[in-house]
Amino acid sequence: MNLATAAVADIVDAIDPLDELERQHIAETLAWLAATDDVFRRVKPDTPPRHLVSYVVLVDPQTRSVLLGRHRLAGLWLPTGGHISPGEHPLTAAGREAAEELGLDAEFTVTGTEPLFLTVTTTVGIDSGHEDVSLWYVIRGDRTREYTLDPGEFSASRWWEIDTFDRTDADPHFTRFLAKLEPLLPEPMPDR
């Protein structure tokens, strides 16, 4: 196992699973990492057919909300993020993606610098599909601030309340991610 793959394996192994599905995804990912160093996308859209992604979820902890974009290729409401470049550390990729797609310096101050969640997903959209092994990072946002998502990637953006999110046109694991994030956020402010 080369150093880049070993670093990813250490990150994945440290994730505390939310449920049995995440436990399965972690075990499957660790077995995959042990079997190959070909884990970074080299050619769009699907070479190799399974590769690493850093999701970057912009969260306003005070309003308990998340910013999602309507992804042009997938046709889904998704967090920002993207493929990890060959040899790139996943945290570095998360910071790069935040800069490219949100135009900001990522603040990993909500849950820390380690990914909160891991998923293995077969993509949908205009290509034939491939598997993304996604490390979900959380960055701090402010719902009162205007964020402009990369128009080449996203056709719209919207803040969603964590406590009431219920969409079928989002990442298939997003509600599970929110279930893992929710107890780590401040209690909701009482209505006055």
Cβ-based neighbour number of residue 110 at 10 Å:
19
pLDDT value for 45: 76
Which residues of the chain are under the pLDDT cut of 50? 192
Fold (topology level) of 3-184: Nucleoside Triphosphate Pyrophosphohydrolase (3.90.79)
The domains of the chain are located at 3-184
Annotate 22-74 with DSSP letters as a single string.
HHHHHHHHHHHHHH-S--S--BTTTBSSEEEEEEEEEEETTTTEEEEEEETTT
pLDDT value for 152: 92
pLDDT value for 192: 47
pLDDT value for 16: 98
pLDDT value for 44: 80
